[in-house]
Structure 1
Amino acid sequence: MFPIAFLEFTAKDFIETLIIASVLVYLYRWVRGTFAIQATIGIVFVILINAVISILGFTTINFILKSILDVGILAVFIIFQPEIRKLLYRLGNNTSFDRFFTKSDSSEMIDEIVDAVKLLSKDKIGALIVFARSSALQDLVDAGVDIDAKIKSQLLVTIFKKETPLHDGAVVIRNNRIVAASCYLPISQNPNISTSFGTRHRAAVGITETNNVFVLVVSEETGRISIARNGALLSGLSIQKLRVEMEEAFGTEKFDEDVAFASQTELNLN
């Protein structure tokens, strides 16, 4: 017990304060850079005005403001619906559990993907590849074109060539197989994304904001290689660094320490 003036501050109070502070910091990081932060300021402003009006004794205005605040909880769910949905998706998708239950060898898949990206990047062929868990993104798969094929670099390059009807959209990979192509992803509305990134990159970030997936992007304009995870974009990867990132994401043991410091540009978009 720690006496503070006339208060008795116990270890339990300290832990409770620490938990509350951590939650508030997390919530701020969650809504930072989105519409939610402006909406939060507006709600706080209304509450402060209501307090001042109540002190001044303006009963009619006070009644109106109280009526507005009475439906505040419903308004919060309506206003913050996109952010709440993202939070619930993230809570429901735990990467550590995914790795625990997923033991399949991804070495061959990574080799084929890396070979494909080499060609795509060299020839500046735009590509968008989503690596999903066994139960994820079924709605996007159903809306795309069924493939259900073994992962081969030549097949991926062919799919994304402009001459093919399936080049527009994303390829979805699950259980080390190409399950669908021409899948359209939600576009991120995050204002912190640089204007130098186009629709493919915004779609890559958008799907990772609400789903626990790994997304690979090849720029059609520059051939630049990027990956997206958890609402963040890692851009300017070399082929060696891409392999390292994929091996880490999919739990393989083949790490190459010589390329651990390959050049890259990291854009934190949360």
Structure 2
Amino acid sequence: MDAVLGWLQINVLSWLKPPKTIQVIDIVQIALIAWLVYRMILWMKNTRAYTLLRGILFILAFVVLANLLNMEVIVWLMGNLSVVAFTAVVIIFQPELRKALEQMGHSNFVNSLMAINRSPEENKRFSDHTVSELVRACFEMSEVKTGALIVLERETHLYEYENTGIPLDAVVSSQLLVNIFEHNTPLHDGAVIIRENRIAAATCYLPLSDNMDLSKKLGTRHRAGVGISEQSDCFVLIVSEETGAVSYAQSGRLHAAVSPSELRRALQEAQKIYDDSARILKKGRKRNGI
């Protein structure tokens, strides 16, 4: 017990001693660290990294216990394996790390700074006409229970998935989308990828989600829609072939059985390149004569 208390006093209590003077830079550092920890917790909560993290924490706790009990051989082995373990962690978490870095690059703050001097039309990924055509096509197919899977590309390029399909490069229209997903037609199987106001490709293959929280009643089409939304920042439209329900997936979340007004509102939000913070900042600059 004396050894444990001595170790805690040296390694833990010494860290808790407050500095003699607190400066502004110290407050800034604390705020940045708190924000980074908060973002990391949110990131881990929404990915499978949380399960893997618990295993890593168990190993770290075992190393601390071995150090307290003076298990020199185990401590020596763990110390020499630390570099290999770090490399293994990077490899294991590669998809999650990539997604986290992409989310940082696509954050509202970054996009707002880049989009301040753009016109309202330039700050749209696709036009209002495209939104109307997509809503019309989805609910026309819903009435006759025609299954559909439509992916709208946003900041993250989807070329690797586009290359798995047949290139079209056609203007988005409800009639064309309905014809593409018509039963027993050459292009009906797979997903359609839309870039800006054009259909880039059809019959594209998408990754399936491994989210165990999704309902077992959902088929491959819904799992593929959620899967591609986990891998990128795209917006996915899904029409169920069994029920005719229209759903959409975004950021790994499935919004099931939405109404036309709900779908239009969600598409209009996805249509924006930046959020209202850029518009507010732009108004402030005009008010100050900048």
TM-score normalized with structure 2 length: 0.76
Amino acid at match of 1:107: D
The DSSP-based 3-state class of the residue aligned with 1:216 is strand
Please state if 1:157 is matched with 2:178.
yes
Distance (Å, rounded) in 2 between the aligned partners of 1:45 and 1:31: 16
Shift of 1:135: 7.6
Return the index of the structure with the highest Cα Rg.
2
**Alignment-derived partner of residue 112 in structure 1:** 133
Shift of 1:232: 2.1
**Alignment-derived partner of residue 28 in structure 2:** 15
Unaligned runs of 5+ in 2: 1-15, 274-290
**Alignment-derived partner of residue 260 in structure 1:** none
Equivalent residue for 2:147, pick from 126, 129, 133: 126
Distance (Å, rounded) in 1 between the aligned partners of 2:47 and 2:144: 36
Unaligned runs of 5+ in 1: 253-270
Equivalent residue for 2:246, pick from 205, 210, 225: 225
Please state if 1:207 is matched with 2:228.
yes
Distance (Å, rounded) in 1 between the aligned partners of 2:125 and 2:65: 62
**Alignment-derived partner of residue 258 in structure 1:** none
Aligned identity (percent) is 39
The DSSP-based 3-state class of the residue aligned with 1:212 is coil
Write the mapping of 1:17-166 to structure 2, written as runs, cut at 5 A. 17-32=30-45, 34-94=47-107, 96=111, 101-103=122-124, 106-133=127-154, 136-166=157-187
The 1:248–1:61 alpha-carbon spacing in structure 2 relative to 1, beyond 3 Å, is closer
Shift of 1:72: 2.6
The DSSP-based 3-state class of the residue aligned with 1:71 is helix
Shift of 1:6: 5.4
The 1:69–1:195 alpha-carbon spacing in structure 2 relative to 1, beyond 3 Å, is same
The DSSP-based 3-state class of the residue aligned with 2:163 is helix
The DSSP-based 3-state class of the residue aligned with 1:143 is coil
Shift of 1:245: 1.9
Contact 1:186 1:206 survives alignment (8 Å): yes
Shift of 1:233: 2.0
Stretch of structure 1 that moved more, 121-130 or 40-49: 40-49
Contact 2:155 2:233 survives alignment (8 Å): no
The DSSP-based 3-state class of the residue aligned with 1:62 is helix
Deviation digits for residues 175-207 of structure 1 (CA, Å, limit 9, x no counterpart): 311121000111122223232322222212221
Shift of 1:173: 1.2
**Alignment-derived partner of residue 176 in structure 1:** 197
The DSSP-based 3-state class of the residue aligned with 2:218 is coil
Contact 1:33 1:191 survives alignment (8 Å): no
Amino acid at match of 1:50: V
Contact 2:156 2:234 survives alignment (8 Å): no
Amino acid at match of 1:152: S
Stretch of structure 1 that moved more, 4-13 or 115-124: 4-13
Distance (Å, rounded) in 1 between the aligned partners of 2:126 and 2:72: 69
Instruction: Give the number of the structure whose residues are more often strand, by fraction.
Output: 1
Distance (Å, rounded) in 1 between the aligned partners of 2:163 and 2:126: 26
Shift of 1:249: 2.2
Shift of 1:33: 5.2
Contact 1:134 1:175 survives alignment (8 Å): no
Distance (Å, rounded) in 2 between the aligned partners of 1:146 and 1:33: 33
Contact 1:34 1:191 survives alignment (8 Å): no
TM-score normalized with structure 1 length: 0.82
The 1:168–1:227 alpha-carbon spacing in structure 2 relative to 1, beyond 3 Å, is same
Contact 2:247 2:254 survives alignment (8 Å): yes
Contact 2:139 2:246 survives alignment (8 Å): no
Deviation digits for residues 19-76 of structure 1 (CA, Å, limit 9, x no counterpart): 2122112111111254322222222222222222223222222222222323232121
RMSD (CA atoms) = 2.6
Amino acid at match of 1:120: M
Distance (Å, rounded) in 2 between the aligned partners of 1:216 and 1:111: 13
Amino acid at match of 1:73: F
Please state if 1:242 is matched with 2:263.
yes
